[in-house]
Every structure is written in structure tokens, then in C-alpha cells.
Structure 1
């Protein structure tokens, strides 16, 4: 799978990479530190199969990124999973209104985080994906 992780926290990025390595899931991972960087990647590089998006980022937060993504005819159907610490119900509802494919809260324990990422990637690994 080709993944795009949009995350500004270097520790969270390393944690995600560690999970991928530990699970031995075949993948190509590209990273962006904010929504602006991610939009640039999506417009200039091969499209990912799945986007994993943090909400709390500088320059362009996750919700702003989602709104821009859904306005773009070529990339609006890319499945986007929110991967966040935010348990704010308003964030959750707003993301689903915009059109996300899932909302995953990052647990504190690494083992729980690993299990959630494994479940997400296994599901999307067998799902029929639409390439824009």
C-alpha cells in the first residue's frame, strides 16, 4: 500500500514508522508535516492508496486540509483516516460531515496504538480502492 501520513510531530511519525516495521506490512510511506505540504505532494507525486491525517497541525490543520481535499476533483475520493488525540465530538462530527473514511483516536499505550494501526491497514489492504 502507498500511504501518506500527515503529521507534524516527529515522535508520532517515528512511532507510526516503528509500527509499520514491526508489522512487516509492505508499504511505501510518504510524509507531510502539514496540510499545505500534503496538498503539494498530492498534486505533484503519485497518489497514495490511503491518507492518515492528524488534526492539530500548524499552517493548515486537518479540518482545513480535508475541506481543500474534498474540493479537488482528482483527489477528493482518496480514503482519509483521521489519526488524532482529539476526543472532541465537534471535531469528530465535522470530519464525518466533510467525508472521512474513519476516525481513530491515538491511545497512550504503544501496544494499543499498534493494534489500531494494524486493524486500519489490514482493512484498507483488502478494500477495493478507487484511484482518482
Structure 2
């Protein structure tokens, strides 16, 4: 029953992108990962994509359009507002957490420092979303 996911990872740190890809590629199920390095690039990608995005995983602190402004954009757009967006960040600022939930995120995760903990975190995230019934965008 586990579905393969098309994941949009929005992250400006190349080491974090490599780490995320490494973890995802270690799984038996091969989810697809599209990468945007900031919110502006992610919006362009969403507007020109040919495949359905099932899950957005994004950092908050990015250049050009940050994570919070990106969330505000997609939650106002009828084409994208139902895509689950999960924050994966180093910020444990309660103001950031509250604002993200008010915008309508599906989850907020602090990036674990230890690689083993990071693997468990991403594995749990993928297991949860791959068994959910997701809405397809038109």
C-alpha cells in the first residue's frame, strides 16, 4: 500500500541536499526527488512541472523567497494549496513554528544533528506520507 512519492525538496544548502538524497536513495522504495534551492526556484518548478508533486519538504532560511513566504504563496494558490508541506529546518524558534502552522503546514521537524537520527526522521516522514491518500493536482 506504500505509494512512491514525488517530493519537492526546497533547500539551499548543498550538503543538506546530498544528505537528504542519500537517505531517500537508501530506501527500498525509490521516491523521486526534485530540488529547488530557494522559494523562487520552487515556484517556477511548480508552475512548469510535468509530474504531480505529492510532498514538499522545505527549509525556512533561504535566499530570495524564504520558506515562510513560499508557504504563504502556495497556500493561496488553488493549484498547490493541498500539497502537504513539511518544514525541515534548524530553527526551533516558537514564533517560526506557530507562524508555519497558522499558514497550514503538515508538519515541522528540526533537523537532527546525528546522521542516524536524521535517517530515522526522514524514514518516518516517508513512511507516513507514502501511506496517506493524497490529492492529485490538475
Q: Shorter-chain TM-score: which interval?
A: over 0.9
**Alignment of 1:6 onto 2:10:** yes
Aligned to 1:111: 116
Alignment RMSD (CA, Å): 0.8
Mind listing any 5+ residue stretches in structure 2 that lack a counterpart? none
Segments ≥4 residues shifted beyond 4 Å: none
Structure 2 counterpart of 1:30, from 25, 29, 34:
34
- With normalisation by structure 2, the TM-score equals 0.93
Q: CA deviation at 1:22?
A: 1.7
Q: What are the superposed Cα offsets for residues 1-58 of structure 1, whole Å, 9 maximum, x if unpaired? A: 1110000000000000110122233211100000000011111102311000100000
Aligned to 2:56: 51
Matched length: 132
Q: Partner of 2:96: helix, strand, or coil?
A: helix
Normalized per residue, the structure richer in helix is 1
Aligned to 2:77: 72
Q: Partner of 1:23: helix, strand, or coil?
A: coil
- With normalisation by structure 1, the TM-score equals 0.97
